[in-house]
Structure 1
Amino acid sequence: MTASPPTESATRPDAEPAGLGQRFWALVADWLLCLLLAGGLTRLGMLPDPEALWPSVILVVEYAVFLGFFTQTPGMRLLRIHCVSIRHGRAIGLPRALVRGVLLALVLPALPAFYEPRRRGLHDVLGDSIVLREPPRS
């Protein structure tokens, strides 16, 4: 697999970190999607009970795949933010996205985002990533 080219906003000197509100609502959208998917798959008999565990598993997988390869989950796309490597501005790859997803599912990562200047949570620091606003469309 070849590395994706740097995203435009990650290479801009004025790249702006995503706001906590944008990040929160993107997560809410992704969580609702995972709840719907887990509920539907459980009712179809494709996932065993207990149903309560599956939304978290699906969220980890969603984050790993979408952030690892595409820089955005569906919720992030809706809120016009994306997650890239803080070093090179490209997709963070599957292993680091998986770390982010697991930490997010454990509900640990948000605390540093309240005082870290670039709004990076624990999951961003350990995933070597940053969540940025998309540049305005022309």
Structure 2
Amino acid sequence: MAASVNEKTGLDPAGLGPRLAALLIDWVLCLLIASLYASPFEVAWPAVVVLILANTFFLGLFGQTPGMRLLRIRCASYPDGGVLGLGRGLVRAALLGLFLPAMIMDSNGRGLHDRAIGSMVVTIPRD
């Protein structure tokens, strides 16, 4: 269950379900792209590299991966809500590629990868 909107920042943390679903969508897309270069059944690392590159690009410049866009969530700078930039996006993506930091969360659902760079996955309000 997602925490309520933070009164100080105005950010509404995204729930675990939408975040995992977005990651699954992104992972499938990365597997498809990586399969153009190597079979994921034989070599696993190309898909992880594609995931890191895609997350760096999309989160760093736009604040959303394709999966996040579909599920109406975004990764925002904490606490101001801005876009991360490519440097912070790369660090977050590399930590996400390790998987374990993403599983160690605080009460706002921020994993170690989010706390390390000062970000938070939040919901996008409906218009």
TM range (shorter): 0.7 to 0.9
Q: Is the 8 A contact 1:16 1:133 kept in 2?
A: yes
Q: CA deviation at 1:136?
A: 1.2
In 2, are the aligned partners of 1:83 and 1:129 still within 8 Å (CA)?
yes
How big is the shift at 1:15? 2.9
Check if 1:20 corresponds to 2:16: yes
Distance between the aligned counterparts of 1:118 and 1:33, measured in 2?
28
User: For the residues of structure 1 that align with 2:31 and 2:104, how far apart are their CA atoms?
Assistant: 27
Match of 1:42 in 2: 38
**Quick check: 1:11–1:89 contact (8 Å CA) kept in 2?**
no
Q: Does 1:51 align with 2:43?
A: yes
Per-residue deviation, 1:79 = 0.8
2:18 match: secondary structure: helix
Question: Residues 41-97 of structure 1, C-alpha deviation per residue, up to 9 Å, x if partnerless?
Answer: 337xxxxxx632100000000110000010000010011100010032111111111
1:99 matched residue in structure 2:
91
* Structure 1 SS opposite 2:82: coil
Structure 1 gaps of 5+ residues are 1-8, 44-49
* Separation in 1, partners of 2:83, 2:7: 13
Tell me if the contact between 2:72 and 2:123 (Cα under 8 Å) persists in the aligned partners. Answer: yes
Look up the SS of the partner of 2:104 in the other structure.
Answer: helix
Matched, 1:128 2:118: yes
Count, aligned residues: 121
Alignment root-mean-square deviation, CA? 2.2
Which of 14, 18, 29 is equivalent to 2:25?
29
Q: Which residue in 2 is equivalent to 1:90? A: 82
Equivalent residue, structure 1, for 2:64: 72
Structure 1 residue 112 displacement after superposition: 2.6
Q: Give the Cα separation in 1 of the matches to 2:85 and 2:54.
A: 13
The structure that has the greater radius of gyration is 1
Q: Measured at CA, do residues 26 and 17 of structure 1 come closer, stay the same or move farther in structure 2, by a change above 3 Å? A: same
Aligned-pair identity in percent equals 45
CA contact (8 A) 1:31 1:59 kept: yes
After TM superposition, the score normalised by the length of structure 1 is: 0.79
